[in-house]
């Protein structure tokens, strides 16, 4: 009998190529809102947006802001940081539909979930983000047939790593047992910390040499999908 039965997968950075989706959506938003008339688009501007976006998501994970504050705050900070004038609300409204077009997968992601489903695991997606955008991206990705259900923070009312997000998930998975559940994700602050908060084992998927500065506890460090498969299919 397998040690685990329920695999709770993060989406962005674990299966979905968020970096590509974000870059395309942000660049198109920048031009659609006419910001290029003030300053030519550049990779440095994209990096500035990414930094501010990550900063605001960190605030949400720590309970320091609301979701609407995040959506507007990241654009307001980006504009201020780069000496640009613009409307954060208009940027937000332009950006999200464009982000929803980004359903690209990380290389090997579909084969990973296909093999795990064939091995008899029950797969679920647990993702922070805007519900309509995430659902559109998942539909475009082609991953939905492999998953029993998808839980999005906007729908649950809580964001990872809040244990209440996981309580919501647990209550909606038939026959769920925490001892037989496993979180798989790339983010220490949301996925792996969330697993720890909820009393679940976890696989920290870290293909790059990321540092665990806060010593977040995890069950396994995987540098590749192959390591995940060896752990789950060869046990």
Is 10 annotated in the active site? yes
Nearest alpha-carbon partner for 106 in 206, 17, 22, 1: 17
**Secondary structure of the chain in HEC code, one letter for each residue:** CCCCCEEEECCECCCECHHHHHHHHHHHHHHHCCHHHCCCCCHHHHHHHHHHHHHHHHHHHCCCCCHHHHHHHHHHHHHHHCCCCCCHHHHHHHHHHHHCCCCCECCCHHHHHHHHHHCCCEEEEEECCCHHHHHHHHHHHCCHHHCCEEEEHHHHCCCCCCHHHHHHHHHCCCCCCHHHEEEEECCHHHHHHHHHHHCCEEEEECCCCCCCCCCCCCCEEECCHHHHHHHHHCC
| Catalytic annotation, pick one of 10, 77, 162, 191 | 10
Indicate which residues carry an active-site annotation.
10
């Amino acid at each position: 009998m397998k040690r685990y039965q329920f695999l709770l997968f993060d989406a962005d950075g674990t299966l979905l190529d968020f970096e590509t989706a974000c870059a395309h959506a942000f660049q198109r938003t920048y031009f659609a809102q006419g910001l290029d008339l003030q300053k030519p688009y550049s990779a440095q501007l994209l990096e500035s947006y990414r930094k501010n976006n990550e900063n605001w998501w960190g605030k949400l994970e720590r309970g320091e802001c609301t979701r609407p504050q995040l959506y507007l705050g990241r654009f307001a900070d980006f504009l201020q940081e780069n000496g640009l004038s613009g409307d954060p609300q208009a940027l937000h409204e332009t950006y999200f539909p464009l982000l929803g077009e980004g359903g690209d997968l990380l290389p090997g992601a579909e084969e990973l979930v296909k093999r795990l489903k064939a091995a008899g695991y029950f797969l679920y997606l647990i993702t922070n983000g805007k519900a309509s955008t995430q659902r559109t991206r998942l539909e475009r990705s082609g991953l939905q047939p492999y998953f029993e259900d998808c839980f999005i923070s906007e729908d649950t009312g809580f964001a990872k790593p809040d244990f209440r997000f996981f309580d919501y998930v647990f209550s909606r998975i038939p026959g769920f047992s925490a001892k037989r559940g496993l979180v798989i994700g790339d983010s220490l602050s949301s996925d792996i910390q969330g697993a720890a908060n909820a009393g679940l084992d976890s696989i920290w998927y870290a293909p790059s040499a990321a540092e665990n500065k806060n010593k977040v506890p995890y069950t396994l460090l995987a540098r590749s999908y192959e390591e995940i498969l060896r752990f789950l299919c060869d046990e």
